[in-house]
């Protein structure tokens, strides 16, 4: 049985690959913390909400004339997806903040560990379902 045919495992693997790529980028940022004019980088996550916005709006079907007409909620006035500008720039033009990068690295490692645990639990569940679980 190929686990990649199961969408959940495919998504977990994609997320693990994204987290691995982000860890490499953060490590590069930390390694270049003394490089003049170096600007920190980050991996942009795939946002499911952005994909939904590209689709045409769906109007709810009214099965009774007394039902209220559905409305599409207004856009959120606060754009939480904007990246904040770095608050510290060295005289050489480098704006890598080690503390900020280390926080991102620890969050990435925690997320990766969580995904690995989810993967392991679902594999164990499948083993139990087919009678080979412990």
Residue 94's pLDDT is what?
Answer: 79
Q: How many CB atoms lie within 10 A of CB 31?
A: 12
In angstroms, rounded to a whole number, what is the distance separating the alpha carbons of residues 19 and 73?
A: 32
- Residue by residue, pLDDT tens for the chain (134 residues) are 676 688 888 888 888 999 999 999 999 999 988 888 888 888 887 676 765 676 666 666 778 888 776 665 555 544 434 445 555 666 667 788 888 999 999 999 999 999 999 999 998 998 898 887 66
Distance CA 41, CA 76 (A): 27
DSSP label of 65: T
Instruction: Write down the pLDDT at residue 114.
Output: 94
Burial grade of 92 (CB within 10 A; 0-12, 13-18, 19 or more) = exposed
What are the structure tokens assigned to 116, written together? 């690995």
Query: Residue 40's pLDDT is what?
Result: 87
Nearest to 15 by CA among 98, 86, 117, 128: 117
Q: Which two tokens stand for residue 115?
A: 């995904």
9: how many CB neighbours lie within 10 A of its CB?
17
Alpha-carbon distance of 25 to 31, in angstroms, equals 10
Q: Is the pTM of this model over 0.85?
A: no
């Amino acid at each position: 049985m190929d686990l990649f045919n199961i969408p959940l495992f495919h998504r977990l693997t994609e997320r693990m690959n994204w987290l691995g790529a982000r860890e490499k980028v953060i490590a590069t940022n930390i390694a270049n913390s003394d490089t003049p004019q170096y600007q920190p980088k980050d991996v942009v996550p795939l946002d499911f909400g952005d994909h939904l916005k590209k689709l045409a709006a769906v109007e709810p079907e009214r099965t009774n004339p007394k039902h209220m007409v559905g409305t599409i909620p207004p856009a959120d006035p606060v754009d939480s997806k904007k990246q904040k500008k770095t608050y510290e720039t060295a005289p050489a033009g480098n704006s890598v903040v080690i503390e900020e990068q280390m926080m991102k690295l620890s969050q990435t490692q925690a997320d990766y560990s969580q995904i690995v645990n989810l993967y392991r639990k679902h594999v164990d569940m499948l083993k139990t379902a087919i009678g080979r679980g412990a």
